Copies of this chain bind each other. A is one copy, B any other.
Amino acid sequence: MVGILKRTLRLQTALRLLSPHSPSSSTVTARLSPLHHRRPFLPATSWQFGVCCRKLHNGVEMPKPSAAAAPDRLPFSTITQEDLAFFRKILPGRAITDADLLESSNVDWLKSVRGSSELLLRPQTTEEVSTILKYCNGRNLAVNPQGGNTGLVGGSVPVYDEVILSTALMNNILTFDAISGILTCQAGCVLENLSLYLEDRDYIMPLDLGAKGSCHIGGNVATNAGGLRLLRYGSLHGTVLGLEVVLADGQVLDCLVTLRKDNTGYDLKQLFIGSEGTLGVITAVSILCPLKPKSVNVVFLGCETFEQLLKTFQLSRGMLGEILSAYEFLDSECMRLLNTHLKLPNPISDCPFYVVIETSGSDPTHDGEKLHNFLEEAMTSSLVADGTVATEDSKIKALWSMRERVTEALTHDGFTYKYDISLPVERIYQLVTDMREHLGDRAKSVVGYGHVGDGNLHLNITSPAKDPALLAAIEPFIFEWTASSRGSISAEHGLGLKKRNYIYYSKPSQAVALMGNIKAMLDPKGILNPYKTLPDDLK
């Protein structure tokens, strides 16, 4: 009874926050660190090794054991003094060979993959990228295109000695049409910088990620990044209107259209969205940006069961409708890691599941009323056990950090095996439960969080140290489980180096063969981001 009263009171407090006259208070007192930090590095480790079993997809046998391991180096040329002289001439001061400066470009942010490139090129223009690729293609030098290097599947760093082609200095905004909301910019613009630029002009980017402070828009497009706003604004396949891409032979493909509609022939830019730099180097992007909402609210709720969490999701879709802009979740294990490693206190009472709901709309009063009605219904129907609401910017950030900083908390928990699974939404937590049961006490933590609205689960498993036996217990179990539910083994992270050989769990052999044909057509020497995305049996 006291519990119910406490809950009701807290929610009443929360609901009061919806009133335009009392937006300044909040139950959130979480200690905050800067939101848009560069993700910290884990202790260095060498390759992950996977053991891949005989799972069949359309009769295709998985290629080999240790499928995540690096394949042998392909017979590309190695950099000579003549090569260096050429690059130093065309990129004065921007052809980097200093080992210390190369270090951070050779290692991914998880420090799980390490290359040994001896050359980092930092072009500023499309023409420079074209000259570089034409030369590399002629010389048979492999190239690793690199944006903000925030990828999670080993796609953004060299595997051996590939030349690193960084977009870091290609960071100019080219045009912005304030009537249509269409932005064009170079590929190396940092997502957060674009967001800030747009917010000054009453627009926002259609995507938002935890890595926004580092990731480049070109990398976002190359990996078809999903993130926190996909539920509302859709995928980059819909919002990216145009691309400029340099092909492997140095040809510049100008598809940098700035129109919402263009049905003149095949939509070639789509090929490069999500191809992880294996088909071309994206040098410029045009993207449709939504108007900045006039009203944003964030709610943090607790649910007793995942079923209730899903019912709450359905309720929110109906009652929040067009203002619902995010429906994210984390489980109590995530909360434990946030408490333990980042000292972030739980803003509500302990529950098995937590939800972050964001609304954004054009009318604060209407949005507040919709949210009020939704919360009242969620409480009275006992879908939700506890909750708190934030309307102020700092409080909103504090609540969001409970979701966004789970990744960071995990890095403090131990060696992390990360999975990014797409499933029919009603199945997403069953995988976590089954995995926990399957692993027993072999894992330190098994946590689930992610984007409920998109059917996207981030399942992470930690261990005190790298543990091949644990990995052998996780894989292929997780891939088989996912395939049996017609899910995707990579919802938004891509395949990169780590997941390339597991592609057959989600794609039939005909599709993979067609990918190989497209790769051969666009990059016949295979110089662009080798060892990534495509499985080894196509090499």
Contact = CB atoms under 8 A, between A and B. Distances in A.
A515 B268 CA distance: 8
Given A234-B234, A270-B270, A491 B265 contact: no
Contact of A426 (B179, B424, B486): B179
Contacts of A506: 262, 264
Interface of A: 58, 177, 179-180, 223-224, 226, 230, 234-235, 237-239, 251-255, 257-268, 270-271, 273-275, 279, 291, 293-294, 310, 314, 317-323, 360-363, 366, 369-370, 422-426, 451, 454-456, 486-495, 499, 503, 505-508, 510-512, 514-515, 517-518, 521, 533-534
Contact of A488 (B262, B490, B514): B262
Contacts of A262: 422, 488, 490-491, 506
B180 A424 contact: yes
B488 A257 contact: yes
A495 B265 CA distance: 7
A39 to B, nearest CB: 19
A303 B202 CA distance: 26
A166 B255 CA distance: 33
A265 B370 contact: no
B267 A273 contact: yes
Contacts of A366: 363, 366, 369-370
Nearest to A290: B322
Contacts of A264: 488-490, 495, 499, 503, 505-507
Contact of A294 (B180, B261, B321, B425): B321
Nearest to A260: B454
11 contacts: A177-B424, A224-B267, A234-B234, A252-B510, A259-B423, A261-B422, A261-B455, A264-B506, A266-B274, A267-B273, A271-B271
Given A180-B424, A366-B369, A424-B258, A268 B511 contact: yes
A448 to B, nearest CB: 16
B511 A255 contact: yes
Given A322-B361, A503-B265, A259 B518 contact: no
A370 B265 CA distance: 40
Nearest to A232: B322
Nearest to A366: B366
Nearest to A278: B266
Contacts of A279: 266
B238 A510 contact: no
A273 B510 CA distance: 18
Contacts of A425: 179-180
Contact of A263 (B179, B486, B492): B492
Nearest to A58: B254
Given A254-B508, A267-B274, A491 B363 contact: no
A235 B238 contact: yes
Contact of A454 (B261, B265, B521): B261
Nearest to A323: B322
A263 B493 contact: yes
A522 to B, nearest CB: 8
Contacts of A254: 58, 508, 510-511
Contacts of A310: 179
Q: Which of A273, A511, A517 has the most chain B CB within a 10 Å cutoff?
A: A511
A251 B517 CA distance: 15
